[in-house]
Structure 1
Amino acid sequence: MHPEPDDPQVSVRMRTAHHRARTALDARPHPGGHEAWGWHGRTLGRPVTAHDGPAWLRLAAAPLDQADSTFWNGSRDAKDTIPNRVPRPCLRTIHDWNEPPWRYRAELYDHVDEHPVTASPILTTDPNPPTSWWTSLRSALGTVATTPTARHTTDQQYLDWAMPKFLSPAVDTRAPSWNTAHGDMHWANLCAPQLTMFDWEGWGLAPTGYDAATLHSYSLLVPDAASRIRREFADVLNTPAGRFAELAVITELLESTTHGDNLPLAEPLRQRAAHLLRDDAAGEIAP
């Protein structure tokens, strides 16, 4: 989750649109339910009561002149493609409408009893989930990785541009291999102690190990948690492909800091990148 937008007009517009979506889907706000804002107010979710019981209503907004079918249709495509054994809320229905210059999509999901591990993507305390949780996460990401898709979380063209800019002009930008990723694997999108995975809008092909690398990068402020991730996903991260995935994720997060996002991670990300690049130059595997 992210903070409420700084611009009060965005907050009013999104709350008004959320009310319209509830009316269209015959849903009432759940008493005392909290709001969950997305990046820069692009999404707004909150618990509701629908005609068939508790639910979650997520509203997304995008400018009409900015077509991005990958993220816009991510949740719908995940419902149709990702195997049901991957634990996530069931998408019940979708309602679309336009109010120029905006288009809106309301997604009604089954209610989930568990709560996200953290309220924001960056980890600040060790959640220390049980061993069974890690087993479930490895299994789920393994299933996602082998799911065929033509969608892309990131692509080679972006890596060719961004990695030399944010890491080193001499860095090798060629991904050793690709597989399917959730695409936004941080602690605010994960529930514990019972695993549930939220936010499937950006899933698609990415460098192999991308999800483990993302979770690790968002955990750098908590060394014990980062070490646990490296142990749990050693079979992926301690490989050339996994090290490349880390560098790709670090690149994306460093770019985000230039827009004012993820600023507490900036220096730890640079230090981790230097460590990986130094060991790669020496032909060693970075733990």
Structure 2
Amino acid sequence: MRSRHARAAQALDVRVEPGGEFWGWAGRTLGVPARTAVGAPVWLRLVSAPEDKASGKLWDGALDAQHVFGDLDGRRPALLAVHDAVDDGTAYRAELSARVDQPVLSDDPVLQCDLQLPDSWWADLAGTLEKVSAVDTDRVAVRPQYMDRAIPEFLGIPAPAVARSTAAHSDLHWANLTAAPLQLLDWEGWGRAPEGFDAATFYAYTLLQENVAARVRAVFPILGSPAGLAAEATVCAQLLQTVARGDNLILEDQLRNWSEELRSR
């Protein structure tokens, strides 16, 4: 990955800055700060996959997001260039983006402390997600077949009917958000999902902090409503599935409490 990252930097004519490696899940991605030939700060992220799997939603997510959203009125880092290569059955995609210099709100997707954010930040987040949801796309983030299988398995209820599906970021958590200014990172999985999916995802990753979770519910009134039930049940099932696999164990008790609430509704 490091060797291929260096080749991509050369191909895109950027200079990598030392000491800033960021590895993604299972070493599938490698991101490093860099600068262009004229000194502009950028971020160079390399994604790898077996050559026969280098296509589809996740592979093209950042590129599709750039075509549809651009920089989303400054709320997402613009994708500046892409460079593809294949070597010995492995495909590599280098994505060069504008660099976000402010830190994310949490090093972990799950919020671990009571975070105080101004009203303006919450309003900006709600407004940005509203813009995302208004986009028309044929990309799919949540498939009905998954809901029909996972919700009965992990919540013990039939999958609720989806009254409306909208475009969603689909991975909205605290490690993908910045404070001032607000930016939403990591767009590879965006697509259509039950209405309220982003709000439900964000709420799930906030469950350890009661005060902030209450704020999420206040800002996104679809949570707790009949219209939001399908999204909430889907997110809860998704995360209970990760718990069953040994991940997100810190959320297990809160997720089970949430699932009880959803069953009662």
Letter in 1 for 2:226: P
SS at match of 2:162: coil
Aligned 8 A contact 2:166 2:195 in 1:
yes
Distance 1:262 1:210 in 2: 19
Which residue of the partner structure matches residue 89 of structure 2? 101
2:158 paired with 1:171: yes
**Residues 259 and 17 of structure 1, relative CA distance in 2, 3 Å threshold:** farther
Does residue 241 of the first structure (1) align with residue 227 of the second (2)?
yes
Sort the Cα spacing of 1:130 and 1:61 in 2 relative to 1 into closer, same or farther, 3 A. Answer: same
With the length of structure 1 as denominator, give the TM-score of the two structures: 0.87
Distance 2:35 2:93 in 1: 18
Give the corresponding residue for 1:48.
34
**Rounded Cα–Cα distance in structure 2 between residues aligned with 1:116 and 1:42:** 21
Q: 1:105 to 1:67 in 2, by over 3 A?
A: closer
Using a 3 Å threshold, how does the CA distance of structure 1 residues 57 and 67 change in structure 2: closer, same or farther?
closer
Letter aligned with residue 266 of structure 1: E
Q: In structure 2, what residue type is equivalent to 1:229?
A: V
Of 112, 118, 121, which residue of structure 2 is paired with 1:133?
121
| Structure 1 residue runs without a partner (length 5+) | 1-13, 281-287
Does structure 1 residue 38 correspond to structure 2 residue 33?
no
| SS of alignment partner, residue 65 of structure 1 | helix
What residue is the counterpart of 2:106 in the other structure?
118
- Indicate whether 1:17 and 2:38 are aligned: no
Spell out, residue by residue over 1:160-198, the C-alpha distance to the aligned partner (whole angstroms, 9 max, x if none).
111111110x32343222111011000111000310110
Which residue is 1:190 aligned to?
A: 177
Match of 1:277 in 2: 263
Provide the secondary structure at the position in 2 that maps to 1:248: helix
Q: Which residue is equivalent to 1:59? A: 46
Instruction: Give the root-mean-square deviation of aligned CA atoms.
Output: 1.5
Q: How many residues align?
A: 263
Q: Deviations over 1:236-270 (max 9, x none)?
A: 21321213211111111122223332221122111
Is the 8 Å Cα contact of residues 159 and 233 (structure 2) preserved in structure 1? Answer: no
State the 1:152 CA deviation.
Answer: 0.6
CA contact (8 A) 2:160 2:229 kept: no
Q: Is the 8 A contact 1:92 1:110 kept in 2?
A: yes
The unaligned stretches of length 5 or more in structure 2 are none
The answer to whether the 8 A contact 1:94-1:108 is kept is yes
1:161 to 145, 149, 154: 149
